[in-house]
Amino acid sequence: MNVRFMKAVIDREVPMDKLLQRVLGRPFYVGSSCFCPFHDNTNTPAAKLYDDERGITLFCFTEQKSYRSSDVFTHFTNFSIQQVFNKIWNRLSDQEKTDYMDRMDSGEIVMSDVVKRFLDSLTPFKQGLMTYDDVLESILLSTISGDSE
């Protein structure tokens, strides 16, 4: 699996607004401006979340740069892309895997259904009751298991 493919799967399977909220502990809304979490932005919100065919994207007007869910994992967690991808991939059905492979082969990047469900808070982690691996597991479990049928 090449990195580009792994990131594309992560970006489409993990809703970025929910992921940012979960990792950073403050709300993010698609279609709304926000403080860019990827640079020192505290004065005027410099970024906005968009939903497109590749998943949810954060565009930072100051940096003139786009970020996706895979970037959240690499910037704010210790999980590797491979690690996150493996967990997601193992939960996809054979049909979903085939769809991803086909779309990758044809050069087409089209989202199936972005899974909406997500666990609500990181409280157990903050309290030291969960390890980092548990947190990743719970994030992805709640994300991927949602509406596979």
Interface ranges with Zn ion (CB under 5 A): 36, 38-39, 60, 63
Residue spans of alpha helices (H) in the chain:
3-13, 16-24, 69-76, 81-91, 94-105, 123-126, 132-144
CB of 57 to Zn ion, least distance (A): 13
Radius of gyration of the chain (CA): 15
CB of 76 or CB of 125, closer to Zn ion:
76
CB of 45 to Zn ion, least distance (A): 10
CB of 39 or CB of 126, closer to Zn ion:
39
CB of 93 to Zn ion, least distance (A): 36
CB of 5 or CB of 76, closer to Zn ion:
76
CA distance 60 to 37: 9
- Contact between 112 and 99 (Cβ < 8 Å): yes
